[in-house]
Chain A
């Protein structure tokens, strides 16, 4: 026997109350002188023993009533034994329904989720009205649809009808986290947990030991049962990645996107059509002839950008049972024009002797067969810098500029803050101290790293140093990864400035062997600053004659001009929209793809005004509406392809794993109800105890009435 409210057992001390009352009554009396003692004498002889006996009987009955009430309140539970048939069979049920998007997999008429809902309905048939029930939709995070509410069939059914699979992945580790607190809140003799899921191999095979222990711990509190959903097969292909591969987003240019398509299934797929749509119009497609199981194909798709503005890029792979991960979204902010200002710190009449000559050449290379260069490049002498209006250009590149004049510092800072891109290449003329002092600290803090002193000699007595070919995953390296190791390995540096990156900076490229930072970038306001620790010509290294250099320069331009909001958000993550032109506390509205609008206020985060949409639940394009943006911002939200591996565990393996975690697997062909009901044993005894307590109270009052009553005993006493 156990108790659901064990603390109530302290109430058994209340049994002492009738005993105390009895004792007090014995010793508290009034006194009188009395003449007619002769009539008391017989009463004393006849009744005193009887009275004492009855008094004790009454006291015992009262104690019994108190004890029974206390026991009933502490809600004892028996599993078996003589008292079991008297008890009430009550069970608290927690149903965890897998809501991850693999449940949308639909091979036939019904999806896995439809089947799971049917299983849940079968479980619900076994729940008594009024018993506590919880329904959790497992996701990231979990949605608690019903939290320990008394079961009402209609309400439960209504909630279940509303439930939809989520666009998120859900690990098995979410399961114990969701269920444990609900179990703790429940006060019933028998607790049952049902996990209704498709039992994806991905989750179950790679379950961390800690989660395993958590699940095991659940089985201490409750009967944990796994209800697998019948699945037809585990075939699925998904677009797992979509990147802007090359090209700057400018009107009348061509952007090249690369998409990765992966076959998560066990069978080879043939003739997969991958389509790229811009604002809903299919502009390019390609067919993957054959995709082996587990293989990933990378396809290039060209998107001609014929007008400026915000474009919705969508890449779709056709024909699949799981629609959600067949699409990937991207937003392109296409600019009207793209102008780069190259500032030469050491101009020279000879070709390729000036500091910026290689930059200009690299920038003016025509791309992708387009007739005109996508970038308009203008080169000026550093002395002209003060007279130039920086706002005319999207990117400013400084090559070997000795110092930034004092007057220009705040202009340059404002330029970057308001969205301009700045690329700094150092050189022999660069005066690190002045740079650090003017742009590395104070109000105009721009530099991604503190500059060290220029070494007077090329690494004295040492060989030149190669580029670290282990590239970082920074987007700036995206195109460099296409080069062979030989090509990158041939790059040699004779000199570079030692850099000490600031906290918010990211290192993009390094020099081997000491992994010294070579290329560092940081965000400043809405703009970005890229710092290259060496020259933009052949003075200190041979990189400029390597194909990597023009690719890197183009990538820098594309990167620094890239709008912050072009970077897609994985579903489940928050959307953070920088709104530098707005004040903290202004209104901002987020509109989900299916039309739901959420209004919120702008917040201050690390000194920037941002609008935050805490949790994305749908994939597709989200609109962000606020005063300063007409039309609305667009943010793409993509599925997390971790869930795309939809194959499920073999029944034997499933049983083995479930057994290890203390779960019973329920797989009857028909309804679950008979199986569940036959296993439900706990009986709650409070009701019979209350009835007994009432009986004791009635007995007590009858007995008390009989003792003090007059008429009934008159006749009997006379005999």
Chain B
């Protein structure tokens, strides 16, 4: 098995396969080791201050990275590129509220979030950076300050078990609280389905951005939630204490899809406006593919903006 796993991109690690592995560290390694071979040596480049090399300036590059000294010497425009920062803090924030326990297949959104978070944590830890962990439902259940040891992966399971699956009240409040707790600027990665008042939550993101954090949102949604493929008559039982509701999904699908698109648009545009890195994740997709796409896009934007 190990042999196979070490072959990069030979197969996708779908969430159900990962579920069988059990040990979160092993899962994270399997996901990440496949990715690390090759292009993604320093995926979080852009936040660092270490100079790497010069590159010819092209219009659109930020002027602040222009190397004026080189310009003075040579009258040519060069842009400075920096090596990845070796020591930054990442805060992984997991939503463990009741709605995250929904899963049309074998893997719930929460489990998927767990794999994704573990994989990302593993990746960060491998780069000698430190990872902090927050789990919340109605309140912030636990917060572990950043550290740079693999032990954090073991904590992840424990902390998730502590969450009681309470209906979520207010993500915004959790984000505000986190913003207050974390003083040093770092990266905040939020794993949630965001089924919540999007205005409040966007305000929370704004707060984090205001504090200088680099914010990444993994918006996890089940494929059923994305496509609403039910037919016939169904009774839907709310996971967060809503009244149950019987309907014929065929008849209301258009309204559902409409509302969903409106919601996604609001979230996406809100994130873009706040310069938050937003990624909508279909939980039926393989974790490594999602992660690799994310990293690829991330490195592209960081190169452009960094």
Contacts and interface: CB of A to CB of B under 8 A. Distances in A.
B235 interface: yes
Contact of B259 (A25, A33, A39): A39
* Chain A facing B: main interface SS: helix
A349 interface: no
Interface string B225-253: 10010101111111110100111101111
B258 interface: yes
Contacts of A39: 228, 255-256, 259-260, 263
A47 B260 contact: no
A41 B247 CA distance: 11
Interface stretch (A129-137, A210-218, A431-439, A710-718): A710-718
Contacts of A33: 102, 236-237, 239
Interface in B101-117: 101-102, 109
A44 B195 contact: no
Given A37-B245, A47-B252, A707-B251, A718 B239 contact: no
Contacts of A708: 250-251
B77 to A, nearest CB: 48
B234 A718 contact: no
Given A37-B245, A51-B251, A31 B234 contact: yes
A713 B250 CA distance: 12
Contacts of B260: 36, 39
A21 interface: no
A30 B232 CA distance: 8
Nearest to B104: A32
B262 to A, nearest CB: 9
Interface string A253-278: 00000000000000000000000000
Contact of B245 (A44, A51, A707, A714): A44
B104 to A, nearest CB: 9
Interface in A240-297: none
Interface string A29-52: 111111111111111101110010
Chain B: interface residue count, which band?
Answer: 35 or more
B237 A34 contact: yes
Contacts of A31: 234-235, 237
Interface in B68-119: 98-102, 109
Interface in A2-41: 25-26, 28-41
Nearest to A29: B233
A107 B246 CA distance: 92
Contacts of A714: 254, 258
Given A44-B245, A717-B258, A34 B251 contact: no
Contact of B195 (A29, A35, A47, A713): A35
B222 interface: yes
A267 B228 CA distance: 105
Interface string A579-609: 0000000000000000000000000000000
A34 B247 contact: no
B234 A43 contact: no
Q: Specify which of A37, A42, A46 lies most central, judged by the most chain B CB atoms within 10 Å of its CB.
A: A37
Interface string B143-171: 00000000000000000000000000000
B128 to A, nearest CB: 37
Contacts of A35: 98-102, 109, 193, 195, 222, 225, 239-240
B222 A43 contact: no
A40 B251 contact: no
Nearest to B232: A30
Interface in A45-69: 46-48, 51
B245 A30 contact: no
A574 B43 CA distance: 119
A51 B248 contact: yes
Contacts of B237: 31-34
Interface of A: 25-26, 28-44, 46-48, 51, 707-708, 710, 713-714, 717-718
17 contacts: A34-B102, A34-B236, A35-B102, A35-B225, A36-B195, A36-B221, A37-B238, A39-B260, A40-B236, A41-B242, A42-B259, A43-B247, A43-B252, A46-B255, A47-B252, A48-B247, A710-B254
Given A43-B259, A708-B250, 6 more contacts: A29-B234, A34-B239, A36-B99, A38-B263, A39-B255, A43-B255
Please name the 9 residue pairs, one residue from A and one from B, whose CB atoms are nearest each other, closest first: A43-B252, A29-B233, A35-B99, A35-B102, A34-B236, A43-B255, A37-B238, A37-B242, A39-B259
